[in-house]
Structure 1
Amino acid sequence: MPQHQEPKLISGNANMPLAQAIARRMSMHRGMQVGLVDARVERFNDGEIFVEVFENVRGEDMFILQSTSNPANDNLMELLIMADALRRSSAARVTAVLPYFGYARQDRRTKARTPITAKLVANMLVGTGIERVLTMDLHAAQIQGFFDIPVDNLYASPIFALDIKTEFRDRMGELMVVSPDVGGVARARELAKRINSPLAIVDKRREKPGEVAEMTVIGDVTGKTCLIVDDMCDTAGTLCKAAEVLLENGAKEVHSYITHGVMSGPAVERVTNSVMKSLVITDTIAPTDEVKAAHNIRVVPTAPVFAQAILNIWNGTSVSSLFEAETLSPIYDGMYAAE
C-alpha cells in the first residue's frame, strides 16, 4: 500500500484529552504539527448522533481515537458513524484506535440464552469498513480472533513495570505480584516476570454476579508488599476485598495496578476508604474529577505508547517492539529512569 503524506487522527467525544495528548506526542516524533482532523460529532434533539468531517480525507490513512467506555452505547455509535463517514469520504484506510474496548467482558456464553456481545461488536466494527483495530489489554486475548481484520493488542504491563521499578526501587526484593482471580494469572505472571518477583493468586467464589462469597489466598504473602494486577476496575468491590484478605494473610501493604479505570458507582469512595496504599490506573478511560481528586489514585499516561504504535502501523513497522522495556523507556522521555 503506498504511504501517504501523514497519518491523520480524528477523535470522538469519549476521551478527548487522550486524543489530544496522542496528537501532541506524534507531533514531537514527526517534528511537525499533527493535529486532530476538524470535525463535529453532535447529537440531534432525540439523541441521534451526527458526524461531519470538515477536511478532505480522500486517500488518507485515518485513525479514529475512541474508547467505548461509559456511556458505552453512545461512544460505540460515535465510532461506527465516524468510520462510515470516513469510508464514504474515500479514506484509503480506517484504523480504529480503542484504548478501552467495551463489551469485552461478554466474550463467551456462561449460561444458556446469553449473547457473546464482544463478537457482535467486532462484527459491527468490521461491517463499517474498519480495516485494523489497535487497543490495549483486551479483557480476554481470544477476542482478537473475533475479528477478520488485524488487531494489535498493546499491553500496559511494560508501562507498569517501568513505574514499579521507579516507585519501589528501594524494595524490589519484597514485592509480590497478585492476580485477583484465576482468570488473570497470565496477565499477572507477565508483570511478575518483568520485575522478577514471585506470584500469588486470590481465588474468589461468587454466589451471584457482583457478590463475592469467599476469597482464598494461594501463595505465602507474609511480609510482602503486594501488587494486585488486573485489566479493569469497575465498582472496586472485589479489589478492595482482595486487599483486605491479603493483609489478613500477613501482607505488609497492598498496591494495585489496573489498566482500565472504569470506576463506576461507589468505586472511588471504596478505593479512598480501603486499606490499599495506592491504585494506579491508565488514562485509556478519561479519569473523572473525582478520580483525579482521590489521594490514593494515580493515573499514568498511555499517549506515548499509542502515538508510537500509530506511527509504526502507518510506517508498516513492528508494533510488538513496544512490548519491550528497552523500546518503551525512550518514548517515555525519562519519565521513568532506565535500569
Structure 2
Amino acid sequence: MDHISIILVNYNSAELTKMCLKSLQNIRAKDFSYCVIIVDNASQKLLKLPKSLQADHVEVIRSESNLGFSGGNNLGITYAAEHYNPDYICLLNNDTTVEPNFLEHLYNYIKDKKPGCMVTPKIYFAKGFEYHKEAYPKAELGNVIWYAGGSIDWPNLIAFHRGVDEIDRGHLDVTSLTDFCTGCCILISREVLETVGMLDDKLFLYYEDADLSLRAGKKGFQVLYCPDAVIWHHNAGSSGGAGSPLHTYYQTRNRVFIGLKYGSPRVKLTAVSYALRTLMNGNPVERKAVTHALTGKMGKQPYDKI
C-alpha cells in the first residue's frame, strides 16, 4: 500500500494549525496510508496539541530556528523520508481546511502517472477571507476561487492564479497541465523529489512553489491541476497578509530572482529593467528586495531594517 506523508509548517499560528488538523481528521484513505508531520518552525510558544487532535499518525517536530516556508517543509520532507519512506509527499498550508476526499482525489489522479508528477487541488478562499468579500452575494462566500491552476506571465514577471476572485460556476472544472502548483497544497510523487530536489531554501518564502514546478517541468514531469479535489484557504493567515513588509519583500525579491533564473534573454532584460525602475520609484522595502535579488543576497533577510 502506498504511503503519503502530509507536511504542515507551523509558525506562531497554533490555532490555525489546530483548525487544519481537525479537518484532516475526517479525510478518507481507503487505498493508501498516511501520516501528518507538523514542523514547528521555531514558534515563540512550543506547539502543543490537545488530546482530541493527538493520534499515532500525527507527529510534531521542532526546528530551533525559523527556516521559512521552504526550509520548514524541507525539514518535514527529510524527516518523512527517514521515518516513513513515503511514496508521496503532500505539502499543505496550515491555514487551510480540506474536503474529506481531497487526498483521495489527488492520489487517484496521479497514482498511475509515470514517471511521476505533482498536482494541486482547486482552492477556494475560506468564507470571509475573500479579497473583496463585500462585492459578493453572501450566499457565494466560500465559493470564490483562490486557485484553479497557475500561469506565469513572463513579460510582466508575475505568477498568478487562474480564476482568482471569480465565483465558481463550474467553468474551471477541467483537469489540466498548469505552469505551477501552489505550495498551499501539492501532492508530489517521490520520483519528482528524488530527481529535482526539494524546495529552494534560498527563496525562504514565496515563489518556491513556482521554482519547484519549473524544475520538475524541465525534467519532463507533469505539473497538474485537479479540480475534483477541494480545499479552502484562510489567505495569508500565517504570513502577515498581502501588503505587509514581509509579503512585499519576499514577493518582490523572488519574482526578480525567478525571472533571472528561468527567463529567456528578453525576460532577463525585463527583470533587470523592473529592478532598476523599482530602485528609482519603489518604497524602501521594495528597493531593498530588488537590490538583494540583483546581488544574490537570498535566504532569510532582515527586510524590516532599511
Q: TM-score range by the shorter chain?
A: under 0.3
Rg larger in 1 or in 2?
Answer: 1
Q: TM-score, normalised by structure 2?
A: 0.27
